Structure 1
Amino acid sequence: MEQTVNLSQERLARAWNDLQTLTDQGTLLHPDSNRLAFADPEFLLRHETRSIRLQIEMLKTELELDKREIDHTIVVYGSARLPSPEMATQARQEAERSGDPALLQRAEHMARGAEHYQAARAFGRLVAEYSIGKPRDTHLYICTGGGPGIMEAANRGASEAGEPTIGLNITLPHEQFSNPYVTPALNFKFHYFALRKMHFMMRALGLVVFPGGFGTLDELFEVMTLVQTRKTKSVPIVLYGSHYWKRVLNLEVLAEEGMISPEDLNLITHVDTPEDAWRCIREFYQLNCNDASTRSAMHDAGCGALDDNAMA
């Protein structure tokens, strides 16, 4: 039987083979002449080609997730600085051996942080256990920023339950390495914060936000703004750790001063257990009901929360 050949792919493959042959021969290619445009890093990193970089950074993750039939995610935000229980235990042991009051105080702080880590880990497991064996249209994947701390914890919980997990990492001056619980094929790295945040929302059917700093607040407020302005469909926005969030965010003041509408306060829900966080999402999408009801609720939410015009 005669084999069908994809000419565009074959030509591209030949182009790469030709480039590799020249490299093997030690032939130097001048950036402004002999190099193929898509194989010329200096060209792609020029100011004038920023639009190309934006496009391919958007497409790389999009195409890979589509290929793997991933339509729905639960996004977990939170601090990269919160330690695992193993790290907290080690810090306490070292502090007790030293007897240093400053180290003991830091160890206590790490122990409190490890409680949030464990909660994020438990939440990731709950979502993953629900999704095991579910078809594409009702399957939920844990998606995080792919780094340490809370991100690692949520990926870890889902991974320990046997489910794939997604990490959308970012290049930073202080390099943020991917945590080991992100599925390697779903481990993406971004240069542009804007495109990373866009990918967070494109498939998100819910967000659970653990204690965090500037980055976490940035991500949270972007989502709240998109929902408030109806650039996205409504999704559950769950703030984990009421003692933390009610001190950090006094949104009632904004309502009292007329800066937001009173009903905007209903955009978020405070919880203090992984089970309650998962319950908020389950109830929103009727996940306790039959598969037909679940599919209907998820279909109404679309293949993700982000409207096509949100970034226009």
Structure 2
Amino acid sequence: MSDQSKLHAEHKQLVQNILSGEAYRLAYEDIAFLNSDDLRPIRLQLELLKPEQELRRKKISSTVVVFGSARIIAQQQAQENLDKLERRAASEQADAPDTRQLDEAKKQLAQSQYYEEARRFSHIISTRFQEQHHRDFVVVTGGGPGIMEAANRGAYEAGARSIGLNITLPHEQTPNPFITPELAFQFHYFAVRKMHFLMRAKGLVVFPGGFGTLDELFEVLTLVQTGKMAEIPIVLVGKSYWQRVVDFDYLVESGYISAEDKQLMTYVDTAEEIMTVLEGFYAGRPPKEETLDV
């Protein structure tokens, strides 16, 4: 090989080294750069913009948010689980379930009523308010299992659209199968996800749940109480559960909230009662847009 050829090959390799280097990579194609601490504000903005563009494109005018436990299962599944345990207990096999397991299965069966009410409510409201060119009261959930699955399922069974806002967690949470595919979004930041829950929200329906459900409920109550968000109907499903878990009367008596604050919520037990509250609040008409002061 001539000296000129060697020099040409050397230059070619040098150029290739530049082209394949991280520094030369286009900024928006550099994953390591995009995931750096300095780019956190950009990632927050992207998580805000991507779902917003899609929701506008799909003509989602208003939503009703459904929160609740991820641990509640469908009634049929709960009944099958209990039946299986009871058969094993009756057979007196070595691996027969103990009392604790049976009690847990019975509790799951009792709680499954909430799954079925969430499913029925979503079916009713999705059937009543979604139209081809204008979609109101579109059900939005956290996109996971339990009550979230039930609400997305009700809309799916009604042939309507519903939204799922999933979140990346240490223990992977896959989206439930009933979300409308083009309305299934994944978030890294809880804060942006919470904002999306409320940007079009014209109703909040909260079923029994744990820390996450309580966090989401009290955030909405705080936003409404402080005037950062327009008042919307906030419906707590399961009177006996909510009246025991949160003693709002005691908060009023202690002076930590006002008597008017307690009126922000309504207790119900059935899907029909939820609909009565929502329709009463809006006089039976779909609400106007713009809820959250961002």
TM > 0.5 between the two? yes
Q: 1:79 maps to what in 2?
A: 69
State the AA in 2 paired with 1:89: Q
- Rounded to whole Å, the distance in 2 between the matches of 1:121 and 1:174 is 26
TM-score, normalization: structure 2?
0.88
State the AA in 2 paired with 1:105: D
Post-superposition Cα deviations, 1:14-46, rounded to whole Å, max 9, x if no partner, equal xxxxxxxxxxx9x98322x12111111100111
Matched, 1:57 2:22: no
- Rounded to whole Å, the distance in 2 between the matches of 1:106 and 1:218 is 25
Matched, 1:193 2:196: no
Deviation at 1:132, TM superposition (A): 4.0
Post-superposition Cα deviations, 1:256-289, rounded to whole Å, max 9, x if no partner, equal 11111111010100001110011100111111xx
Structure 1 unpaired stretches of 5+:
1-24, 288-293
Matched, 1:131 2:121: no
Give the secondary-structure state (helix, strand or coil) at the position aligned to 2:202.
Answer: strand
- Rounded to whole Å, the distance in 1 between the matches of 2:271 and 2:174 is 26
Identity over aligned residues, as a percent? 50
The equivalent position to 1:219 in structure 2, one of 216, 220, 238, is 216
The equivalent position to 2:243 in structure 1, one of 243, 246, 254, is 246
Give the secondary-structure state (helix, strand or coil) at the position aligned to 1:239.
Answer: strand
- Rounded to whole Å, the distance in 2 between the matches of 1:148 and 1:304 is 29
Give the secondary-structure state (helix, strand or coil) at the position aligned to 1:42.
Answer: helix
Deviation at 1:85, TM superposition (A): 1.8
Which stretches of structure 1, 4 residues or longer, exceed 4 Å deviation after superposition? none
- Rounded to whole Å, the distance in 1 between the matches of 2:163 and 2:112 is 22
- Rounded to whole Å, the distance in 2 between the matches of 1:85 and 1:192 is 33
- Rounded to whole Å, the distance in 1 between the matches of 2:19 and 2:86 is 60
- Rounded to whole Å, the distance in 2 between the matches of 1:140 and 1:242 is 24
Q: 1:103 maps to what in 2?
A: 101
Q: 1:30 maps to what in 2?
A: 21
Between stretches 258-267 and 73-82, larger displacement belongs to: 258-267
- Rounded to whole Å, the distance in 2 between the matches of 1:28 and 1:186 is 38
1:219-238 matched pairs, under 5 angstroms: 219-238=216-235
Give the aligned CA root-mean-square deviation in angstroms. Answer: 1.7
Q: 2:263 maps to what in 1?
A: 266
Post-superposition Cα deviations, 1:140-180, rounded to whole Å, max 9, x if no partner, equal 21110000000000110111000011000101111111000
Q: 1:148 maps to what in 2?
A: 145
Q: 1:90 maps to what in 2?
A: 80
TM-score, normalization: structure 1?
0.84
Deviation at 1:254, TM superposition (A): 1.5
Deviation at 1:134, TM superposition (A): 6.5
Q: 1:67 maps to what in 2?
A: 57
State the AA in 1 paired with 2:172: E
Q: Is the 8 A contact 2:155 2:162 kept in 1?
A: yes
Deviation at 1:304, TM superposition (A): 3.6
Post-superposition Cα deviations, 1:73-112, rounded to whole Å, max 9, x if no partner, equal 0100000000112320221122112212222211101101
The equivalent position to 1:180 in structure 2, one of 177, 180, 183, is 177
- Rounded to whole Å, the distance in 2 between the matches of 1:245 and 1:29 is 59
Q: 1:305 maps to what in 2?
A: 291
Give the secondary-structure state (helix, strand or coil) at the position aligned to 2:144.
Answer: coil
Matched, 1:120 2:118: yes
- Rounded to whole Å, the distance in 2 between the matches of 1:109 and 1:204 is 32
Structure 2 unpaired stretches of 5+:
1-15, 90-96
- Rounded to whole Å, the distance in 2 between the matches of 1:147 and 1:209 is 15
- Rounded to whole Å, the distance in 2 between the matches of 1:304 and 1:204 is 8
Q: How many residues align?
A: 271
- Rounded to whole Å, the distance in 2 between the matches of 1:109 and 1:34 is 59
Q: 1:107 to 1:285 in 2, by over 3 A?
A: same
Q: 1:45 maps to what in 2?
A: 35
- Rounded to whole Å, the distance in 1 between the matches of 2:264 and 2:200 is 19
